[in-house]
Structure 1
Amino acid sequence: MIAIVTGDIVNSGQYSSAAWLPALKEVLSEKGQQPEAWDIYRGDEFQFKTSVNEALDDAILIKSVIKSYKNLDVRIAIGIGEESYSGGRITEANGTAYQHSGRLLEELKSDKQTLAIRSGLKEKDEVCNLLLRMALSFMDEWTTVSAETIAWTLRNPGASQQQMAESFNIQQSAISQRQKRARTDLVTDLLVFYKETFKELIR
């Protein structure tokens, strides 16, 4: 089982792609080589292959990185399943993971929702997507500061508040307030729940 993550930038026309594209490429480049493991197409759409275990972490990291730019957001569909054909480009590959992800992204556009998961396991999908919709009530409203806080946290697992304060060059007490506003604790709990829910699919 693999995860295919397909997404597009919301409000991309408000910025030149030179503003946000390097930040997106930096995240995607960690997933492997372009265009086999990831690619960007049509200017503001992207797709990448990842493990089931890391899929939601990757999606929320991208959301936080993109929302670090004022008024930008990203729509992301996570498809979990098989890969039946792997071509030289990820956009030419096929399988249930690709089908779930591609179709789900189109549904998200219609539903005006920014993040969802589809594995074909109906009960698991329903529970996870309910929690995601609840989490999006605050994730969609992250300020640039909150988004930067989440991005740093996901990139530095296990780091202390003091280390974070030194990185941002602010007081540790300010970090605590930033984490509360960003709801870092709920994001962490959501990621743990996701991994537990799909643990039998994680290799």
Structure 2
Amino acid sequence: MKKLAVISADVIDSSKFEENAFLGTLQFLEEPSNNYLVNRGESILTSRGDSFQIMIQDVEKAFLKAIYLKSYFKKSEIVLKHQQIKRKLDLRISLAVGNAETIPDEIGKTLEEPFVLSGRALDQMKQKKQTFIITTTNAEYNKELDLSCSFLENILDGWTMAQAEVIYYLVQGFKQSEIAEKLNLTQPSVSNRIQLAHWGLIEKMDHRYKDIVSKL
């Protein structure tokens, strides 16, 4: 048995944007040289232009990869369908950790446990009005994670584009001075955005997530 993490995600209110609005976004995410999200040998499935699923074999990194996805989308905005105004993008994310007997070659054609858990939770999120959820095979841990994710949602939903842009680089390991240079900002400005984005609390949740998955 192999422990796997699976992220299932879809763009919130995607019907309000043009059909091909997300093609460039998904092409970027599928290219390992562009980012730290997808490693060589890990596949990404795009069922439509507005939804996708990712298999992550290094389960301890899965939470921060989900945060990376949130920041990548929330730092962007695109034109609404048939309108001249832009709207900030956002993503609904379901992260699940479970055991798989085999590593699937085509993740769209598998019923291994973590894929089912992740997909099923994503289907339920619209009804529950959730935007971020973590599911495991342990019911008690799931109760804790459900509560933690409710608080986390308030943080992530409150991000401005400027804050998401800084977190996008920070989660990849860039130093504040490097982020400041990339964004043509002062280092105090970068530090302020990091604090306003509540990065310290996100790090604490990452530590707890790692603790939980190590015990599964």
Partner of 1:110: 127
TM-score (norm 1): 0.87
**Structure (1/2) with the larger helix percentage:** 1
Matches of residues 93-172 of structure 1 in structure 2 within 5 Å?
93-155=110-172, 157=173, 159-172=174-187
Counterpart code for 1:198 = V
Deviations 1:161-185 (A, max 9, x none): 2222112111111112111111111
Aligned position for 2:82: none
The answer for the alignment partner of 2:5 in structure 1 is 3
- SS at 1:187 equivalent: helix
- Give the TM-score taking structure 2 as reference length: 0.83
Q: Which moved more, 1:85-94 or 1:166-175?
A: 85-94
State percent identity of aligned pairs.
27
Distance 1:9 1:163, change over 3 A: same
RMSD after superposition: 2.1
Question: Following TM superposition, where does structure 1 have runs of at least 4 consecutive aligned residues deviating by more than 6 angstroms?
Answer: none
| 1:186 pairs with 2:198 | no
Q: Identify the residue that residue 65 of structure 1 maps to in structure 2.
A: 72
After superposition, the C-alpha distances for 1:49-94 in whole angstroms (9 at most, x for unaligned) are: 0032111111111011011123211111112112245554210022
The superposition leaves residues 6-44 of structure 1 with CA deviations (integer Å, 9 ceiling, x where unpaired) of 11111234444655443444334332469x721111221
Secondary structure of the residue aligned to 2:8 is strand
Match of 2:59 in 1: 52
Distance in 2 (CA, whole Å) between partners of 1:28 and 1:196 is 29
Contact map agreement 2:99 2:114 (CA 8 A) in 1: yes
Say whether the 8 Å CA contact 1:56–1:191 is kept in structure 2: yes
Cα pair 2:9 2:92 within 8 Å, conserved = yes
How far apart, in 2, do the equivalents of 1:13 and 1:187 lie?
A: 30
